[in-house]
Structure 1
Amino acid sequence: MKRFFLLYRNAFGGLSKPAWMMSVVMLINRSGSMVTPFLGVYMTETLGYGLREAGIVLSIYGLGSVCGSLLGGWLTDKIGHFKVQLISLVLGGSLYFVLVNLERFGYLAAGIFVLSLVNDMLRPANSASIASYAKPENVTRAFSLNRMAINLGFSIGPALGGLLAAISFRWLFIADGVTCIAAGFFFFLYFRNKQGHHPRHLPKDTTAHPPVLPAYKDYTFLLFVGFCCCFAIIFFQLFSTLPLYYRQVYVLPESRIGVLMGINGMVVFLLEMITVYLLGDKVRKDVLVTVGVLILGFSFVLLNLVQHISVLYLAMLLLSIAEICAMPFMATITVERSNDRNRGAYMGLYTIAYSAAHVVAPFLGTSIVAAYGFATLWWAMGGFAVVSAVGLYLVVRQMERQRHQQQMAATAAQALTTG
């Protein structure tokens, strides 16, 4: 037991105080993550819409997320990550109080679009700030700490949301809004005197910071973003079709669905930092990411192989392990590909992979379910995972090779200069 606690202490050691405080902000924010996991159930059971309409609105949420990621990345490089995060948290939280009163399909869809746009401005700015506050030697662990806070909040949010939904779905919107605004105030109080209020513009001709290829012209990275999107399409069935599967096939109540969804956050909270600490410097990123994607695919295929309520918990455990293996290292790969002048653009493109998946995943998932059933969807996700895993393995390996070559060239150039 003593060795176990020592392992935990080492995994969390050496992280900067701002990195810890940023994680507290995300914990407060994500503890209110109640609307998105239950949006499909809310539309079908409270508002009386069908699966197709629910899928369209969930896809519109993803479209707003794409626009928000683009806007957030651009604004981060223009005005700094502090202002972008503050605007996103406070304004986004306020919008939940508007959204709760929108029931007509057109108004609801428009409200969801604006809400997701404002909320997802946070993601590239948050990623850029983590890279800025983290020490160079533990960037991956800083991202994992932030994700740990997000997942702890996500384990609290859906579980509490399931209880509140049993009373009234209205409370989900209120709780989400309050926690977003609370996170915004906490963020302002701590970070108002820190860096990030203004973007960093480095001289283009300095030898210490040579220019890099613009993010939108980095075609290898764009290919990486495309395969990350494929991974996210599979992963986001967690938020769109899985709750519907639990409800329609196993007839679970909202509280039980919330507990199942909360398992994902709790597993990631307990295991990700240790996993990154133990494997981050010992196993290649291309291997870890590939294994994660394959496990993700199997977690959905397993739902077809065994028909018992216990398999729902095992599948959620596997999905959580897949997330641990893949996501923190995808973020690190993106940081290593960028520099201080274009990190907002790179993180914006990376988060667009997940935003675009928010568009495709619910519409694709609900369409397949409506036409062919859940079993076909789970087989399709398993096959798609194999294709995505192969693609990510090849692309990440190429990116790591290019980074190694650039480091060798920079070392050689420095040796010639000093010589």
Structure 2
Amino acid sequence: MRTVRGWFRDTTGGLPSTFWYLWTGTLINRLGSFILVFLAIYLTTARGFTAVQAGLVIGLWGAGGAVGTMVGGVLADRWGRRPTLTAAHIGAAAMMLALGLAEQLWLVATGALLLGAFAEAARPAFSAMMIDVVPERDRLRAFTLNYWAINLGFACAAVLAGLAAELDYLLLFVVDATTTLLTAAIIFFKVRETRPVRVPQATGSAPTAPARGGLRTAFSDRVFLGFVALNLLTALVFLQHISMLPIAMGADGLPAATYGTVIALNGVLIVVGQLFIPRLIRGRRRSHVLALAAVIFGAGFGLTAVADHAWLYALTVLIWTLGEMLNSPSNSTLIAELSPSALRGRYQGVFSLSWSVAGFVAPIAGGFVRDHVGDAALWLGCAAIGAVVAIGHLVSGPARERRAAELRGAPATCDATPATPRSDAAAPPITGPTADAAVPAATRSPAETAADLTAVG
């Protein structure tokens, strides 16, 4: 019992209350995340669209998300994390209801486009706020806990959505909109702004160099863009589970409820195993972990080519979920370390753009390949992409770790355990975030960081 209590304390202890409000909002929102999971089935059954039309609608969701992530990233840095998150969630809730009521193809497509823009505008602001409030030493743990909440909600939502879809598809949209509004309320009433604030320059002091950056900086960062490109390829494979996988299962005569149960396995496995993953990968080279994850990921989706029964589909989900669990924590901590402190929102927006572009391309390309080349070619192609991503991580890993070490201001030792962070000399003077948010390690002085590390032991 004492060991269990110690493990629980080590896993959840010491994180700021702002993180737990964000975590709660994530869990509530994901408990009602019905729409995207069942959108392909809804469009092809309730609305009678073809697989290509359904792929186009889901692709427009991704296109809207591409715009939303860029706008959301800029707003997170200029307007603030909290107002960006609140406005994005309210807008997403409104568009969910509009999409559920739309019937004609052009209305459905427009609703998906706008919903993608609002929903994805929240992603960079949320990620930037997480980095703001959680010190670097705790980020792997915090991102793992948040990912756990996402998948706990997803596992429950997938099963409930399968049952609700048998009653009325509109119910999916109503519940999703409601949970999104609840998340907006938590952010508005409980979360304070965490964006780092510049210290006013003293009268008569030497002028401080203006902050350099913006989207141009992110788009000219070759090391960062290489990482984004690899994530884009990974996302192209991963998003087939919400576009082509339900269509493939339907073609094998499996009902929507079965798809919900099978895909819920993904969330259940992550809920059970994700809390232990950080211990498993601690001290391992991140490039090796990401490469292994890509191989497992591709193998799982590739085996879908031979699946024709529910248990076989469940087996493929189990395999690619293992790859997902290895990929997520290393991915999250690495993108945090590659983002300069003054440009976190923009860097998160550009990184999120890879998911939005994949959200547009994956269903359209998947539908095209499936209709014109065949189902097996689609899934075997996913396996080939996984192998390419693995090679890419092995080749580009050392350069990424050198860049992360440069931003920390410490020599690159290996790509496993981060070195002690220090302040970014190129960044403008800033104070810590307001409220109870911990000052991000990248904005602290060396003395403050050393004191914190000593206090932790």
TM-score by length of 1: 0.91
Deviation at 1:214, TM superposition (A): 2.1
The count of residues paired between Structure 1 and Structure 2 equals: 410
2: CA distance, partners of 1:386 / 1:334: 21
2: CA distance, partners of 1:202 / 1:341: 13
1:250-269 pair list within 5 angstroms: 251-269=253-271
1:277-316 pair list within 5 angstroms: 278-305=279-306, 307-316=308-317
Matching residue's letter, 1:379 = L
Taking a change above 3 Å as real, the CA distance of residues 252 and 358 of structure 1, as seen in their structure-2 partners, is: same
Matching residue's letter, 1:345 = R
Higher helix share: 1
2: CA distance, partners of 1:31 / 1:90: 17
Q: Tell me which residue corresponds to 2:333.
A: 332
> Does structure 2 retain, via aligned residues, the 8 Å contact 1:201–1:341?
no
Q: Tell me which residue corresponds to 1:26.
A: 26
> Does structure 1 retain, via aligned residues, the 8 Å contact 2:230–2:392?
yes
Q: Tell me which residue corresponds to 1:97.
A: 97
1: CA distance, partners of 2:98 / 2:309: 40
**Structure 1: stretches of 5+ with no match in the other structure:** none
Matching residue's letter, 2:294 = V
Q: Tell me which residue corresponds to 1:225.
A: 228
Matching residue's letter, 1:163 = L
2: CA distance, partners of 1:74 / 1:283: 34
Percent identity of paired positions between Structure 1 and Structure 2: 27
2: CA distance, partners of 1:306 / 1:363: 22
Deviation at 1:327, TM superposition (A): 2.0
Deviation at 1:166, TM superposition (A): 0.4
Deviation at 1:339, TM superposition (A): 2.8
> Does structure 2 retain, via aligned residues, the 8 Å contact 1:76–1:199?
no
1:187-266 pair list within 5 angstroms: 187-191=187-191, 194-196=192-194, 200-201=197-198, 214-249=217-252, 251-266=253-268
Is 1:391 the equivalent of 2:392? yes
**Structure 2: stretches of 5+ with no match in the other structure:** 413-420, 426-445, 448-457
- The DSSP-based 3-state class of the residue aligned with 2:193 is coil
Q: Tell me which residue corresponds to 1:322.
A: 323
Q: Tell me which residue corresponds to 1:381.
A: 382
Taking a change above 3 Å as real, the CA distance of residues 202 and 140 of structure 1, as seen in their structure-2 partners, is: farther
Q: Tell me which residue corresponds to 2:73.
A: 73
2: CA distance, partners of 1:392 / 1:166: 43
Deviations 1:348-389 (A, max 9, x none): 111111111101111111111111221111111001110111
Q: Which runs of 4+ in 1 moved over 4 A?
A: 1-6, 202-207, 209-213, 305-308
> Does structure 2 retain, via aligned residues, the 8 Å contact 1:95–1:115?
yes
2: CA distance, partners of 1:13 / 1:396: 31
- After superposition, the CA RMSD in angstroms is 2.7
Deviations 1:68-121 (A, max 9, x none): 111100100111110011111122112222111111111110111001100111
1: CA distance, partners of 2:219 / 2:200: 21
Is 1:11 the equivalent of 2:7? no
Q: Tell me which residue corresponds to 2:435.
A: none
Q: Tell me which residue corresponds to 1:49.
A: 49
> Does structure 2 retain, via aligned residues, the 8 Å contact 1:297–1:386?
yes
Deviations 1:8-61 (A, max 9, x none): 442233322221221100111111111111111111111111111011111111
TM-score by length of 2: 0.84
Matching residue's letter, 1:262 = A
2: CA distance, partners of 1:96 / 1:8: 37
2: CA distance, partners of 1:141 / 1:206: 39
> Does structure 2 retain, via aligned residues, the 8 Å contact 1:94–1:181?
no
